[in-house]
Amino acid sequence: MEKDITWLENTGLDIQTGIVYTGGQDKYISAIKRFYSNYGKNRESIESYKAAGDYENYMITVHALKSNSKMIGAGELGKLFEALENAARTGDVSKIDADTDDALAMYEALVSRLKPVEEMGDVRAADEISGDVARETAEKLLGALDDFDDDLSKELIKKLSGYPFRITQKNRLKEASDLVDDFMYEDAAEIINEIIPAIE
């Protein structure tokens, strides 16, 4: 049964884009819940990395927020985080100093409009798996790839695809699946190791 998400129309999100990116309404709501619940941790990380001049980890954090914002249909916020990511990559500290607070203010404002998601309970698509299960599955998959176990590798990749990855990691997982089809197990394992850190 589909849940009532009409309240989202007043948040400024591009709902249809978000549903397309995430692959369905349940996965979209799940992505919004994670976006909402990770706000405090992400804000604290950005502020502490900026204060410490740790622009490498700052860049990693705003990159993830750029992807997450775009995934839920928060295009303008995504553009702000993308500009900060580029500033961190090129060492443009003045832009980081000038624009971080504005991005965080927009982030906070959006999160406050998403508060009703707290009342929606646990929302998961039928094939969606948790972060703990995804990490466990990824470790088993690395073992199967190391053993050149074709059938088990394919089964575990299918299970891992139930984790609500960002679009970048989804595409990489598809590449890993294609590599398994071509018996290129070491290359597939490299991709799995690359996407494991994205599991929250």
**Tens of pLDDT, residues 140-166:** 999 999 888 888 999 999 899 888 887
Nearest Cα neighbor of 102 from 114, 88, 84 is 84
The CA distance from 181 to 150, in Å, is 8
How far is CA 87 from each of CA 52, 92, 94, 95, 99, rounded to the nearest angstrom? 16, 5, 9, 6, 10
The pLDDT tens digits for 81-112 are 999 999 999 999 999 999 999 999 999 999 99
What pTM value is reported for the model?
A: 0.64
Do 65 and 152 share a domain, yes or no?
Answer: no
Do 72 and 16 share a domain, yes or no?
Answer: yes
- Please identify, among 88, 120, 152, the residue that sits at the C-terminal boundary of a domain: 120
Would you say residue 1 lies in a domain? Answer: no
Nearest Cα neighbor of 75 from 20, 17, 130 is 17
Percent of the chain predicted with pLDDT > 70: 94
- Please identify, among 120, 155, 189, the residue that sits at the C-terminal boundary of a domain: 120
Domain count, the chain: 2
Neighbours of 39 (CB within 10 A): 17
Neighbours of 77 (CB within 10 A): 22
CATH number at residue 74: 1.20.120
Range of the domain at 13: 6-120
